[in-house]
Structure 1
């Protein structure tokens, strides 16, 4: 059974969490295999590379943070905020990172989603009689990064042909991780794990590392046990 479930978008350094989880989350994997008819053999199938995954889900953007199912009470945004973000992602002509975290009562689920996607299309519908709530549906497609390496050439002083002297590298820069972090307005454990540990899925590790302090703050509240508060000092490792 899933205890904690969250859907996040990360784009150009900004991470947002969708305020209400969908009832269904669909990942479709199509086939690009080809079939041919051969004389005396009949139909055969030629296996091709796996195509891009397609992801779709629909939910509601609530206009009231006091709904019991709202997941972003500490950083509540009205529907227009998310509608603007969806349009921004679409207009940017750039991929956005989709992260889905799943936490069971027994521990972290082994079915985690963390991929680059493009917004293929979306629909937003204002709900009559629901005090400003908006229903929406999103259709996403997996994005695979591609490109060519840039080579630097230097002509030889001899009669031989030019030779390669340098290849540019995209090796990531190592980030020094501090020992502690003070919670700021708008922070969640997932955001802290992403920004400080470079991996949002490590929010469970942060919780376990600071369990006593976090549980003490959340005692006698209806908040998620992973809720953190401004001013809390968390250990990062």
Structure 2
């Protein structure tokens, strides 16, 4: 069984000289939600947890007698490659894990790689943690409270009366309140009995007009 990590961008691969002595795989489900200050309310889709691989073993130097080596990489070469991958970005390098003779072939990143260097040029024991790489999508939930309040303010009921100001006419008031000046006869018929002037073309500032019920809907 060969244990390899491949850089999907450069196609460069690191094949461990010998397979790890132990690989522990964790698989589970998840339900998560949180409210980070920067993002606001955040909803994370439910589903299974990303798989994790806890790997441990030995990186043997080339002079160590082995029955069969999967690669001729020296331990220090592998350590240096991991260092360069860890410096590739804030979350490290996206890699692909391939374990021959198994069905394991998936994208991963490594939260930690811990080699134990006992002496220069010697064999290096190591522990490695790999986590399945999964695209993380954040769905921001908009604050509907302010939107609802705004809609309520926009849909406030029209006042039941209107106080005439200088420059007003029945046609202008009708257009202001309904969007159509052609409805002015409805306003005139409802209020003509209480207006100072019996001339529909003459109204005075300060007069209070009753708004037709049909306009209030």
Q: Give me the TM-score of the superposition, normalised by structure 2.
A: 0.49
Q: Decide which structure has the larger Cα Rg and report it.
A: 2
Question: Per residue, is there more strand in 1 or in 2?
Answer: 1
Larger RCO (CA under 8 A, 6+ residues apart): 2
Q: Give me the TM-score of the superposition, normalised by structure 1.
A: 0.46
